[in-house]
A and B are shown apart, each in its own frame.
Chain A
Amino acid sequence: MLYREAGEFKSTYQADQAILTIRQDRWFMWALLAVAFVLIPLVSSEYWLGTIMLPFLILALAALGLNVLTGYAGQLSLGTGGFMATGAFAAYKLATAFPELNILIVILMSGAITAGVGLLFGLPSLRIKGFYLAVATLASQFFLIWMFNKFGWFTNYSASGVISAPPMAVFGDNFVTGPYATAEAKYLFTLTLVVLFALMTKNLVRSNIGREWMAVRDMDIAAEIIGIKMLPTKLKAFAYSSFLCGIAGALWAFVYTGSVEPLAFDVNRSFQILFMIIIGGLGSIMGAFLGSAFIVLLPIFLSNAPHWVGLNIPVDLISHIEFMVFGALIIFFLIVEPHGLARLWQLLKEKLRLWPFPY
């Protein structure tokens, strides 16, 4: 009754091509953005903004990147952590070599550098497919981390191999990195970037590039027969995916933690992000955010919950319970909806359309 497109007529091509064609969807999205940009910074504590929302947004961006490659173009990748590290180290080298550069430029350039690295590691994808490609990208994960550990140049010869972000401002005194950046500034900066890139990705996957990716994903031979060139299509997916992952890595190192060692981007990070898109939904922008919320927020919620209800449980027991509940929930969701949380969201909307008179 409330959520129904009946009576909404499109009179222009523009309206027909809009991302959200149903009015209620548009309202919902505007409301969501208003909550994210205005309400959350107003009511949240520093703990919520800096410790919960920031990693959620940054990892959602990385999941978005991986979703382009794996969900849309069908190229299974385990190199996400390596690409994030590339972004982080590129940003560090740029920021220390050219201190006058604006942080936005540093982050975009580190994304571009990561895109280049992604292109390089995407080359084998023309010959290697499926699980074998996963193993090939796993090699990039280990190679990149090893490289940043091995060569002192990447860390400006720091004794420990740890990189640390200099204080940088977007404009004027609005620091987003370093000790004097406020949680609000960090959050809004990250949120703006993530929203812009999500919008860009959404449009990209609706364009002919995105359609080529999906054609390759669904059946590569058929795609080739209808005239899609394999190599450029796959490489575009690798480049764009690495671009987003690189930016996520740069944000992680600069805005979230401030200092980071290569081990922060080890293979576990790659798995974490792969699980996000599997649970969130392959081939869905919404899925990247839902998956990130599930993987990042749920454990924090589970480990805090006993305190909130006033139970005094030893910390090791809380940790173990957290693992068990988390694992059980993953299995539950994959049984209920193998296509991820995004599919559940879609089903909910379908049901809502018919409500209250289902047939």
Chain B
Amino acid sequence: MINLTINGIDTQVHEGTTILEAAKFLGLPIPTLCHMEGLSPYGACRLCVVEIGEAPRSKLVSSCTYPATEGLKVRTATSRVLKARKMVIELLLATCPQSKIIQDLASEHHVRQQRFKQEHEDCILCGLCTRICEEQMMAKAIGFRGRGGNRSIGTPFDVESEECRRCGGCMYVCPVCQLRCTFNEPEKAICNGCINLAAPCVEKDQFDDLMCYMDPCVACEIEKD
């Protein structure tokens, strides 16, 4: 067993437990976005940062990936943590303002405005879809490619994947594309996930009533260039 202190509360956890799991066990709220039970921790959204160590050498780490270590001192809601979290949310809002989840996060954390140039992107690259595809559906049909600003999610060579079983799991877990797709009206665009992922709706006849979470879907009506 490993002993650690979270917000002054001494606690014992099994080896391999993450800070996030330990904090949840104690009932301490830590917001997350790219974390989902049953999927391996990834640490992409940086929303779950907590402060570890003691000043002046304390630092912020993502609680979903950082393992509990003996004697660790964790604080989940210091002013430094809250400030960083607000900035993360502000950046998220500036990127994907349409997402209900992100809107809720903003409201919960009293982020009332974002000061960057507004973008309307359809993906925050949290990696939930790639992980559910690989770890739960055993398909590995989609993955990351590129780096920096060119990073995106898709199938190899952007051709329809033979591994994809059209389970729709990727869309189910996506935090930004849960609303209906309105690609035909770009200013209202929510997701475009269907186009990026070669989703079930591409073959509408087959999968019309099966799995698509974006029903009614218009992806097939979009002219591909």
Do A and B pair up? The answer is no
Interface residues of B (CB under 8 A from A): none
